[in-house]
Amino acid sequence: MGKLNPKANLIENLYAKDIKRVKTRDGYGKGLVKAGEKNPNVVVLCADLSESTRSEWFQKKFPDRFVEIGVAEQNMASLASGMAAAGKIAFMSSYAVFSPGRNNEQIRTTISYNNWESKPGKEINVKIAGAHAGISVGPDGATHQALEDVGLMRLQPGMTVIVPCDDAECEKATIAAAETPGPVYLRFGRADYPSITTDKTPFKVGKIEEFRSGKDCTIVANGPLVYEALMAAKKLEKEIDCQVLDCHTVKPLDGKTLLAAAKKTDCVVTAEEHQWQGGLAGAVAEFLGENYPVPIKRVGVRDRFGESGTPEELFKAFGLTSDDIVKAVRAAVKMKR
């Protein structure tokens, strides 16, 4: 039977009821400071949300490299592009529903398009931080719950898209984003999520990590749904042997690892805190449909807007819990047989 991959170096008390929960955005704040310490060209822009996005931690450390734009996300994208063209590594921070939600056109034209026409070594190094993403923003409701942002950014030519599973991975992703040529979209939430990875957990942009081995079904997840996937695999361990993959990088997709997994288990379940079209599920289905078709079931938000409630209530109402993943796994295995 499958088991947790020791090379993943996850926390020891993964299945504890009192598992430590930390805001993923804290990892972004810590990562910004470390990236700034490593490279003096790192600058941070924010759209009047420095406390909420944790950009203020960078502001306190490097006040001369921080720019408060105000509630002007379109201007922030254009200014970040200009700073990047002048040699800076510009992080722009806001809620995902506003950036890239409100300023998608400016990101497309001033960042992605300019980067597409740039020469190697002259990339437009803008890093777009979409905070408070997904339905777990909770009481803020539908207008503030970005559920289509990964799809928007995945369609931009040359854009790298990263969705960390917890605070530690978000810190690593932020540091890695600063070192990744070209534009990067970094997505993270507001709620206290289970902190499941450690400093020793492997992380590399564009590389899927196996958190649990298995031979009957592959669960590909990112964001807080990685934890839910691990819980689902635990619940199913006497019935179905599940492999769990942490696919933090939606683009570029690690096709090599995904293909090997699909050939091993012959069925796949995707799990994400995003619309079930266009995001991780879309990337996985497109790749496997072209390279190795297998039964696929998707766990995500089913073509609707969010609503107000606690993160726990919303995960249950929108079908994003470990129990929902269990149902999807059973359905995928049944299709395979």
CB 185 within 8 A of CB 111: no
Any residues with CB less than 8 A from the CB of 112 and at least 6 apart, and which? 124, 156, 157, 158, 159, 183
Q: H helices of 180-321, where?
A: 225-236, 255-265, 280-291, 311-317
Output the CA–CA distances (angstroms, integers) from residue 38 to 41, 43, 82, 209, in the order listed: 9, 12, 22, 26
Give me the count of residues in the chain. Answer: 337
Q: Give the number of C-alpha atoms closer than 13 A to the C-alpha of residue 73, restricted to the C-beta side.
A: 18
* Residue in 56, 73, 123, 273 annotated catalytic: 73
Q: Contact at 8 Å (CB) between 59 and 65?
A: no
Burial 241-266 (b: 16+ CB within 10 A, else e): bbbbbbbbbbbebbbebbeebbeebb
The token pair at 20 is 């430590």
Characterize the bridge pairing of strands 42-46 and 184-187: unpaired
* Catalytic-residue membership of 272: no
Kind of pairing between the strands at 249-251 and 160-162: antiparallel
- DSSP letters of 182-223? S-EEEE--SSEEE----TTS---TT--EEEE--SSEEEEE-T
List residues with catalytic annotation: 73
